Amino acid sequence: MLTAPRAAALAAIGLLFVLPLLAALPLAVVQGASAAAWASLFDDPHVSQSLALSVRSALASTLLSFGLALALTTALHGSPAWLRLQSWLSPMLALPHAAFAIGLAWLVAPSGGLARLLAPLFGWAFPPDWTTVNDPGALLLTGVLVAKELPFLMWSVMALLARPEVAIQLQRQIAVGRTLGYGRAALWWRVLWPQWLPRLAWPLLAVLAYGLTVVDLALIVGPASPPTLSMLAYADLMAGDPARNARGSAAALLLAAVLAALVIALWMAAVLFGRGWRRLAVSGRRRPVRGGSPSLAGRFFTALAGLYVLVVCILLALSVAGVWTFPAAWPQALTMDAWRQVAQSAGTLAGTAALAAAAALLALGLVVGWFEAAPPRWDRSATPLVLAPLVLPPLLLMAGLYQAALALRLDGQWAGLLWVHVLVVLPYVFIALQPAWRSFDRRYEQAARALGRSRPAFWWQVKWPLLAAPLAAAAAVGFAVSVAQYLATQFIGAGRHATVTTEAVTLAAGGQRTQAAAFALLQAALPLLAFGAAAWLGRRRLAAMRA
């Protein structure tokens, strides 16, 4: 029934999220819809190569990281390593993509860490002729994507497996399957994953979309001649010439179309593959149970975690390195310039945190309001719309939102900036909260109502405290996403509001690696604090429930 408060809640959500999105899309599409734009796009002889690079790196990294996530879960679930893995995920997720790329790029560059390590062995006085960073085949880009998307997918898998109904099913089905003579690994691949893979569809889609449209990573480690299509689109959209802007919009639209095509192709492949897989699964073949896998998987994950630690160390070293010519193992001159600048930007830090906290909390409020107020049918059909900002090329979205903000005179205002950040953050908060909300036992509410409590009282006193951990985690995710925004802040903020990320990107554009490293570390610190706070809250809640 559509009571007044419910209607108000739904109206707020519609006004603040749905309408702007629906308004921004046509504005964005119109820009790229001119025939001249498309003609000039296909005129460029390198477009097909750029597109191929984008597709290859995105598809390879998505499939690889997905496969690794499944394999790691299969091997490590239930062992003590699984819990250790869980505690590593938050810091890995908090390190921004660009920061990781900067550190890793330095590690493998011809004048970087690895080369300097090998220099004494080979007697190199000058950097060797390696083609590692910006390699034309986008291999390093693919590698960086895998390293960054694997923790995200692991986090999604963990969120799925942590759901009560899933966790119970898991235990029971493994028990039954083992008595039927199948080993754990076989059960995962034949029984468990086929059941739950559909629920991992949205995170997978998000990963694919990111890989296809990523710009800042491609700038640091991606190919340059020709660059990926997303880079081309970005360069065109950022240029001053309107004709190039239109071409950039066309390229962004092309990427969106390619994404849709890839999704359809993958879905069809999954269906066809699934059939064959089912026949294999019930063939009755049982392989002898081996005990080797967990240690291999454990070692792989330890290596990945070690890589992250190494990257952070590299960033720390880079942030204080002045002159550091090859093949010196230590910097010849140290400088605190970068950190002094960071200290000067303390105001920016506070501003960034305030904006991120406001955006996360507002998005949280909207999402919770939606979950509580929306009828189930609306909820199901709304999911694609809510998740649309995730899969649309961000450039297109920002261009459209900017037009809308201009018309509404919100550009340059903190309110407009907050509004855009909420729009961008909301899908992530939605994904983070949905499992917890959907699996919340309805009987709690029924019991509360039977005891004569009103709905709001039930929410405040029972439901939300019980869901404190997922709420905190979702808020942390929203916080991190807001901190990492560059285009949104620059476009709609009209450059008036500097955040840590805008500082970092503009400094990186100037090529000062020292500053870029220092600001990258700063960028990482904020979300890390948020995730830490959420984890602490979750542990407190768990301890309180156990006591």
Partner 1 sequence: MTLRLDAVSITLHGRALVPALSAEVQPGEVLAVMGPSGSGKSSLLAWLAGLLEPPLAGQGRLLLDGLDVSLLPVERRRIGLLFQDDLLFPHMSVLDNLLFALPAGASRAERVTEAMAALAAAGLDGLAQRRPHQLSGGQRARVSLLRTLLARPAAVLLDEPFSRLDATLRAQLRDFVWASLRERGVPAVLVTHDEQDVPPGARCLRLADLGAGRA
Partner 2 sequence: MTSLTRRRLLAAGLLLPFGWSAGQARAQLAHQALNWPRTLAAARGQTVYFNAWAGSERINAYLQWAAAELLRQHGIKLEHVKISDTAEAVKRVRAEKAAGRTDGSADLLWINGENFLAMKREGLLFGPFAESLPSYAAVDTVGKPTTRIDFSEPVDGMEAPWGMAQLTFFGDAARVGTPPSSVAELIDWARRNPGRVSYPRPPDFLGTTFVKQVLMETNSERAALARPFTPQAFAELTPPLWKALDTLHPLSWRGGRQFPASSAVMRQMLADGELIISLTFNPNEAANLIAGRTLPAGVVSWQHRAGTLGNTHFLAIPFNARAKEAAMVAADFMLSPAAQARKADIRVWGDPTVLAVDRLPAEQRALFAESAAMPGSVRQPAPVLAEPHGSWVEPLEREWQRRYGG
CB of 254 to partner 2, least distance (A): 18
Contact string (CB under 8 A) for partner 1, positions 150-189, x = contact: ----------------------xx-xx-xxxxxx------
CB of 166 to partner 1, least distance (A): 12
Query: Are residues 341 and 460 in contact, defined by beta-carbon separation less than 8 angstroms?
Result: no
Degrees to nearest 5, angle at CA 392 with 437 and 213? 115
**Stretch 194-253 residues interacting with partner 1 (CB under 8 A):** 194-195
**Residue 539 within binding range of partner 1, rule CB under 8 A:** no
Q: What does 183 interact with, of partner 1, partner 2, none (CB < 5 to 8 A by kind)? A: partner 1
| 240 versus 284: smaller Cβ distance to partner 1 | 284
Q: What does 281 interact with, of partner 1, partner 2, none (CB < 5 to 8 A by kind)? A: partner 1
Which residues lie near partner 2 (CB under 8 A)? 44-46, 49, 109-112, 126-127, 129, 131, 134, 136, 219, 223-226, 235, 238-242, 245, 322-327, 332-333, 335, 337, 341, 402-403, 406-407, 409, 411-412, 490, 494-496, 498, 502-503, 505-507, 509-515
Contact string (CB under 8 A) for partner 1, positions 299-338, x = contact: ----------------------------------------
Q: Which two tokens mark 537?
A: 């809250």
Between CA 40 and CA 251 the distance in angstroms is 10
Nearest to 154 by CA among 356, 308, 310: 308
Query: Are residues 91 and 308 in contact, defined by beta-carbon separation less than 8 angstroms?
Result: yes
List C-alpha distances in Å: 254 to 136, 229, 259.
22, 9, 9
| 195 versus 325: smaller Cβ distance to partner 1 | 195
Residue with tokens 């407009």: 416
| 283 versus 344: smaller Cβ distance to partner 1 | 283
List C-alpha distances in Å: 216 to 258, 456, 485.
20, 44, 11
Contact string (CB under 8 A) for partner 1, positions 258-287, x = contact: --------------------xx-xxxxxx-
| 278 versus 449: smaller Cβ distance to partner 1 | 278
**Residues with Cβ < 8 Å from 324, sequence gap 6 or more?**
330, 331, 332, 333
Taking phi first (over 0 means left), then psi (-120 to 50 degrees means alpha), and beta for anything else, what does residue 155 get?
A: alpha
Between CA 536 and CA 547 the distance in angstroms is 16
Where does residue 340 rank: exposed (0-12), middle (13-18), buried (19+ CB within 10 A)? exposed
Q: What does 302 interact with, of partner 1, partner 2, none (CB < 5 to 8 A by kind)? A: none
End-to-end CA distance of the chain: 40
Q: What does 454 interact with, of partner 1, partner 2, none (CB < 5 to 8 A by kind)? A: none
Q: What does 175 interact with, of partner 1, partner 2, none (CB < 5 to 8 A by kind)? A: partner 1
CB of 404 to partner 2, least distance (A): 10
| 341 versus 383: smaller Cβ distance to partner 2 | 341
Count CA atoms within 13 Å of residue 183 on its CB side: 13
CB of 294 to partner 1, least distance (A): 15
Q: Read off the DSSP letter of residue 150.
A: H
CB of 197 to partner 1, least distance (A): 10
Q: Which two tokens mark 445?
A: 């509410």
| 288 versus 452: smaller Cβ distance to partner 1 | 288
Degrees to nearest 5, angle at CA 536 with 533 and 542? 140
Positions in the binding site for partner 1 (CB under 8 A):
172-173, 175-176, 178-183, 190-191, 194-195, 278-279, 281-286, 289
